[in-house]
Amino acid sequence: MVDVSTKPLSSRTAIACGRIALQKQTADLIRENKIAKGDVIGVARIAGIQAAKQTAHLIPLCHTIPLSEVKLEIEVLDNGAKVCCSSRTIAQTGVEMEALTGATVALLTIYDMCKAVDKEMEISEVRLEKKEKRAIYRSSRAMSRDRAARP
């Protein structure tokens, strides 16, 4: 694991998205909540959030970070679904692995819940869409310089 102890805390966000191709009939069943295993969208959303929270347990060299927020947006289309996972933290390292893990597990959950009715599903295009880092405070050295410069 990389040592991040000397890095300052920063506000970090990441968004990862992916797609799953579905037959039109499968998309209709999801919309109508008629998949035998239950509410596909609700279960996939919870699975994605849960997965994001467990990322450090799944990816061997990934840091454990405190997540401030994880959101899953799932849009059912005529020929599939699009899943986006956004994650936020204040930490010394990024949160993109959590977003990617959340999106991927949500897609896998959709696959699992629909596999009895759709043998042609395909997960694709999982990628990091956005990554942002903002400083949340100035270093103690900079603050000391400012104090020393005051009259």
User: By residue range, what is the domain housing residue 138?
Assistant: 10-149
Written as tens digits, the pLDDT of the chain (151 aa) is: 899 989 999 999 999 999 999 999 999 999 999 999 999 999 999 999 999 999 999 999 999 999 999 999 999 999 999 999 999 999 999 999 999 999 999 999 999 999 999 999 999 999 999 999 999 865 556 555 555 666 5
CATH number, domain containing residue 95: 3.30.70.640
Specify the number of domains making up the chain. 1
DSSP characters over 72-100: EEEEEETTEEEEEEEEEEEESS--HHHHH
Strand partners, 94: none
Q: The pTM is what?
A: 0.88
Give the per-residue SS3 of 113-126. HHCCCCCCCEEEEE
Residue numbers annotated as active site? 112
